Structure 1
Amino acid sequence: MDKQDRNVQFAKHLKVMEWLKSEILEQVSGLFKGLLHGNEALILDSMASLLLAIYVLARRVGIPFHKLETAVKDKIQEHLKHGHEVEEWYGDLSLLEQYINKR
C-alpha cells in the first residue's frame, strides 16, 4: 500500500470515528425525546441504534465484540458485589445477568 492509499485509509478511519461519535449523541437525544414523550418505538429504536454504534465503535478502536461483552459481564458482577440501587430496588442487574448467561 502506497502513502496515498494509507492517507485515504486513515481519513476514512477518522471519518467513521467521527460519524460513530455523532451517531451516539444523536441516538441519546432520540432516546431522551422518546422518554419525554413516552414513545416506545422511538425509545426502542434509539436504544438499538446506541448498542449498534457502541459495538461498531469498540471494533473500530480495536476492542473485539467478545471482549466488550466480557467487560459488560464483569461490570454487572462488580455492581452485584458492591451493591447498586437498581439491583437493590428492582433486581435488574440479576435479571440481565441471567439473560446474558442463557444466550
Structure 2
Amino acid sequence: MERDLDVATRTRTIEWLKTEVVDQMSRLFKAIWDGSTSRVIDGLAGLIASSYILGRRLGIPYRDLDHAIADKLAKLKQEGHQLEEHYKDLSELSEHIRKR
C-alpha cells in the first residue's frame, strides 16, 4: 500500500511539473509580447529551472542533462545550423556550458 502511494505521489508530481513547464512557456510568450526584458528573463529562468527539475523527477541527473545539451549543440553545429552560421550562438552557448 505504501509503495502504491509513493508511485501515485511521484506521478502527480511529474504531472504537476509538466504543467509548470507549459505555464512558464506561456509566461515567457506573454513577456515577449509585452516587451518586458525582466519578465522575459524571469520566464526563461522559470522554463529552464522547471525543465531541469522535471528531468530530475524523471530520473535524469542534472549533469547528464548538461552533457546532453552540450552534445546536442555540437551535433547542431556539425550539421550547419543557421544560428551557428549566422550568429555563432551555438558556439557561445557551448562555451558557456563548458565553463560552468
Taking structure 2 as the reference length, the TM-score comes to: 0.94
Q: CA deviation at 1:5?
A: 1.3
User: 2:66·2:97 contact (CA, 8 Å) conserved in 1?
Assistant: no
What is the aligned length?
100
Q: CA deviation at 1:56?
A: 1.0
Aligned to 1:23: 20
Where in structure 1 are there 5+ consecutive unaligned residues? none
CA distance in 2, matches of 1:101, 1:10: 36
Where in structure 2 are there 5+ consecutive unaligned residues? none
Q: Deviations over 1:59-84 (max 9, x none)?
A: 11111111111100000100111111
Matches within 5 A, 1:30-45: 30-45=27-42
User: 2:21·2:51 contact (CA, 8 Å) conserved in 1?
Assistant: yes
Q: CA deviation at 1:51?
A: 1.0
- What secondary structure does 2:52 align onto? helix
Match 2:55 to one of 47, 58, 72: 58
Is 1:99 paired with 2:99?
A: no
Q: Which has the higher contact order (CA 8 A, sep 6+)?
A: 2
CA distance in 2, matches of 1:66, 1:40: 29
Larger Rg: 1
Percent of aligned positions that are identical? 39
Over the aligned positions, Cα root-mean-square deviation in angstroms equals 0.9
Taking structure 1 as the reference length, the TM-score comes to: 0.92
